Structure 1
Amino acid sequence: MRASLQSGLLLASLSASTANAERVLGAFIYSRHGDRTPKVWGNTQLTTVGYLEMFNSGSFYNERYISNDSVKHIEGISDPVFRSKQLSASAPDDAVLQNSATGFLQGVYPPTSQATEKLANDSTIVAPLNGYQIITLSTTDTNQDSESSTWLQGSSDCPKATVSSDSYYASQSYMDLEASTKEFYQSLSPVLSDAFSDEDMSFKNAYIIFDYLNYGRIHNTTKPNVTDAQWVQLQYLANNQQYNLAYNSSDPVRAIDGKVLAGEILTNLNKTIASEGEYKLGVQFGSYGTFFSWFGIMQMPKASDDFTGIVDYASTFTLELVSNATGTEFPSSDDISVRFSFHNGTVSSSSEPTVFPMFGRSEDLISWSDFVTESEKIAIASDSEWCDLCGNTEGKCSSSSSNSDATSASTDSIGGSGGVSRPVAGVIGAMVTLAVILGLEALFFLVGGFTIAKRCKGGLEMSSAAAGVVDDKKS
């Protein structure tokens, strides 16, 4: 009887465990690029070390989200063959980021003998390179993450963000640090003189100097002669400078990159819910600057001071859509929550991502509805929002501005509702004015006895030439 009772309890326990098992419905991954050459050299390139970092990181997420054997396997995602409707990937048009993405995606969906295609003659073709899987990588429509930039807003098309970042250089905190660290940077002249002039060895170039010496620590057989204490100081100063350039709580436009990313994350996760799980995984790649600004607007420093430091190469964070709802149907949005996790540097099975609460909260899970509400407060999800915040009126913003004007004009009527709109009123006024002018001219010709004569050929040719100049300018 006791054995029977124990057996029954065990079955009940397993049944409860299965019923309460968490379901991973979808995820979004954001990754920094891998190790690269220093910015001070120009034309930055992904190194072999960086390529391996990205491949290893992608392999981890294959084991975490793709493998059918994983407890965090995304429900219904294809394994081992990639399906385009289930996954999307994007990166800015930049060599380091594009190549990093390629390496990462090779790890997420590695070559497989099942990557085949059957032909009409009943023969089966296996993809080249032992079943190599090609995952389309989209190019993001902004270049704010470009690694060719020597500082955060250097390649941004958002003028207000550039002005905001520049204002940090005029702040008292910056000027104090620049003055107090001048002697420190000058003391590094023996290891910096090959790449920096004496005047460039200052806090203004804190990140570029750190970046240069970091490359040496990884790649040079004779490492730069920098003590551990000096290295800690270099990291602290670079972190301080770059965080302040990327985020300021009183000046939202400075975190433009993070706001755009917040909008893309919201759109991505919502796509999974709207498609009832048909779409499953979004992957995006960027630079440390976007991490900084997104961490700032998400209030991540309240969870840990580590979020104010420059993330290592191949660092990733994920947002997972999870549910405890039972059954095989896709759950209601009311039964879905979001969880954030982060790992600094290349992630592996021995060093998994750590879960942190978002938006300054204490709980690790946040309901989908609350996540949407909080994200909408900080996210930019349309061109018009971006244009308004950045103050742009050219390029993609010219059409956005025109549409905005048209919208406001349609509701801007004289006398309120039901009246004539101001644009229509203006046209009517112009027609009335024109009619009056034409009437006066007719009266003038009739009373004065004037006639209309054809101009000479030369005059017409001059007019044609002039018109040609105007056309040239338009073209």
Structure 2
Amino acid sequence: MSHSDIHGVIVLVRNGDRYEHYQDSVTYEATYAASTPLGAVQSHGLGAYLRSLYFHDTSPRIQDVNAELVDLAKIHVLVNSGEESTSVFNSATALLQGLFPPSVKHRTTLANDSSIVAPLQGYQYIPVETAEPANDRSLESWTDCPAFQQHVKNVLSSTKFKEAKREAESFYKAVESYIPVRPVNLDNAVFDYMSSQFIHNQTFAYSLPPTFMQQARGWADFRENAVFFDEQITGIGYSTP
């Protein structure tokens, strides 16, 4: 692939590691979610990977993009500003640090001939645009959507979901004592809480029986796949990201 083959790249990115937050099982309204140093490292690493993929001398370069000094006319970053906004915003910032790391060439020469390098050895400040759910549904199309909420209710009351809920009941009863702060059932899935505790709480991680995390992830995947799916390609399940 030659340098001229790539005219632009669109990257869809989730946030890095964050502390647990709770989402309503029907409206998906969520509580505050703070990012973690681990999340920053993950996002920075992704930015560095993208840099190696598209900006390295031996890689297929994006056409007309300066690999060392960011050209703000060549990059646009849209960040979700919903309930997870802090962790998402911080993840975007860390990714951009890895994509365009500090450079001593990020400097300016003043009229008195003195040369000034940006702080932090040439840190590059890259603005991001936020998508506010109240007026921009592009990243959270389900926000305050009665049709989507009805869709979720239909899924949770469906025969298929009720059968899965009965099958999962023994697992959720077994894990209930480890989750004192959340309703424990397939409606809520509780994987987010368990995942955060498993990463950051040593007591929880060491006491949780083997396979519990895998089972929690499996049931959470089932639930989200059921909600964000529709029998009709024009249905609301297909219309949500």
Do the structures match in fold with TM over 0.5? yes
TM superposition score category, shorter chain reference: 0.7 to 0.9
Q: Paired residue for 1:253?
A: 236
Partner of 2:196: 215
Q: Which amino acid aligns with 1:245?
A: V
> 1 or 2, which has the higher helix percentage?
1
Question: 1:216·1:224 contact (CA, 8 Å) conserved in 2?
Answer: no
Give the TM-score normalised by the residue count of structure 2: 0.85
Asked if structure 1 preserves the Cα contact closer than 8 Å seen for 2:2 and 2:60, the reply is no
Tell me how far apart the structure 1 counterparts of residues 239 and 88 of structure 2 sit (CA, whole Å). Answer: 19
8 A contact 1:115–1:126 mirrored in 2: yes
Matches of residues 124-163 of structure 1 in structure 2 within 5 Å?
Answer: 124-142=115-133, 153=142, 156-163=143-150
1:64 Cα deviation after fit: 1.4
Equivalences for residues 338-377 of structure 1 within 5 A: none
**Residue matched to 2:111:** 120
Distance in structure 2 (CA, Å) of the matches to 1:175 and 1:137: 43
- Structure 1 residue matching 2:34: 3-state secondary structure: coil
Deviations 1:45-103 (A, max 9, x none): 00111111101111111111223x13222122102000011111110121111111111
**Aligned residue type for 1:255:** Y
Question: 1:190 is matched with which residue?
Answer: 177
Equivalence for 1:81: 69
Give the secondary-structure state (helix, strand or coil) at the position aligned to 2:73: helix
Partners of 2:20 and 2:72 in 1: CA distance: 35
Does structure 2 conserve the Cα–Cα contact (< 8 Å) formed by 1:213 and 1:224? no
Going from structure 1 to structure 2, the CA distance change for 1:184 and 1:248 (only over 3 Å counts) comes to same
Matched-pair contact (CA < 8 Å) for 1:162–1:254: no
Aligned-partner SS, 1:39: coil
Shift of 1:256: 3.0
- Select 2:8's aligned residue among 26, 32, 54: 26
Q: Using the TM superposition, give the Cα deviation of residue 244 of structure 1 relative to its aligned residue in structure 2, in angstroms.
A: 1.3
Whether the 8 Å contact between 1:33 and 1:100 is mirrored in structure 2 is yes
**3-state SS of 1:122 partner:** coil
User: How many residue pairs end up in the alignment?
Assistant: 225
Structure 1 unmatched runs, 5+ = 1-19, 147-151, 259-475
**Matched position secondary structure for 2:10:** strand
Change (3 A) 1:96 1:255: farther
Structure 2 stretches of 5 or more lacking a match?
24-30
Q: Assess, with a 3 A threshold, how the Cα gap between structure 1 residues 225 and 65 changes in structure 2: closer, same or farther.
A: same
* Structure-to-structure mapping, 1:430-469, within 5 angstroms: none
1:38–1:211 CA contact under 8 A, matched in 2: yes
1:47 aligns with 2:36: yes
- 1:198-224 CA distances to partner (integer Å, 9 max, x unpaired)? xx2211111xx1111111221122315
Name the structure 2 match of 1:451.
none
- Tell me the residue number matched to 1:180: 167
Q: Give the secondary structure class of the aligned counterpart of 1:113.
A: coil
Identity level (%):
23
Q: Corresponding residue for 2:97? A: 106
User: What letter matches 2:160 in structure 1?
Assistant: S
Residue 162 of structure 2: SS of its match in structure 1? Answer: helix
SS in 2 for 1:77: coil
| Distance (whole Å) between structure 2 residues aligned to residue 91 and residue 114 of structure 1 | 28
Contact 2:227 2:237 in 1 (8 A): yes
Deviation, structure 1 residue 189: 2.3
With the length of structure 1 as denominator, give the TM-score of the two structures: 0.45
What amino acid sits opposite 2:86 in the alignment?
A
Tell me by how many angstroms 1:191 deviates: 1.1
Further displaced range: 156-165 or 133-142: 156-165
Structure 1 counterpart SS, 2:221: helix
CA shift at 1:34, angstroms? 0.5
Q: Distance between the aligned counterparts of 1:133 and 1:45, measured in 2?
A: 24
CA distance in 1, matches of 2:148, 2:188: 19
Greater per-residue strand proportion:
1
2:231 matches 1:225: no
Is the CA contact 1:62–1:108 (under 8 Å) kept in the aligned structure 2? Answer: yes
Displacement of 1:254: 2.2
